[in-house]
Structure 1
Amino acid sequence: MVDFKVVLSDPKTGLSYKIDAAGAAAGALLGKKIGTEVDGAPFGMSGYKITITGGSDKTGTPARPDLPGNGRRGLLISDGFGFNATHNGERRRKSQRGNEIAADFVQVNAKITVYGEKPVTEIFAAAAE
């Protein structure tokens, strides 16, 4: 089965947490698109809603929210995801991934949008022990 590292950001505190998603938790993300809200229950966060904000594959290629599909494509970009122009008008052809989470993703970035009853610090403090 697929394994993901989910980097979960908490907008209230500004902290981020790492979740190793395997099995059902990874299956909950498979096929979802960037910007999709998913339930936090598969990650041990009942009552929480999580929004997918991005990710990268095994080669470090970033996912773009405006590129449909799950494949890798070479795009001519001037600035933004995966490239910072150093000169005015500079453009480069860079590999970018589509916005759909696929099996060859390694990292998925997400943020909490709806909070549950139990505080986030308690959930991850119990997991760290």
Structure 2
Amino acid sequence: MTPLIEALNVRAIDAYEREDTTVLPGLRSLGAVLALHGIAENGGLVGGGIENIFFSERMQSVDDAIAGYRWLGLVDVAALVARARDEYLRFRPTGREELSDEDAVLWDQLDSAFFEIATLDRLEAAVAARLHEIAPETMPS
């Protein structure tokens, strides 16, 4: 993790999961992003992120992460996550279907694309640019 992301990670995810209205909406949006991002970094976007969330019956959190990426200005990442969600629901509507060879290739391509464009450095830069709307008390003086 980068220093800024590490400093905000637990707090943001907690605010998002508890729907804490006492914090800035930006912190909750970041929490939605970080919740998905962390899972995707460990297990891939499709299998780690989308599939795990699908089986935990929290698909709204994927939509929240997509909105969060957009809000942060990472529209390419938001579009990729939206595509991964849609493709997953197409090729595994119940989560148990066998993948065709073409879909297995697509799964890998989506994961690879995520690792290429959703880097922590890009995420940190986007968070730093909106820090005044996320956690202004952490801004350097």
Q: TM-score, normalised by structure 2?
A: 0.27
Q: Higher relative contact order by CA 8 Å / sep ≥ 6: 1 or 2? A: 1
Quick check: which one's strand share is greater? 1
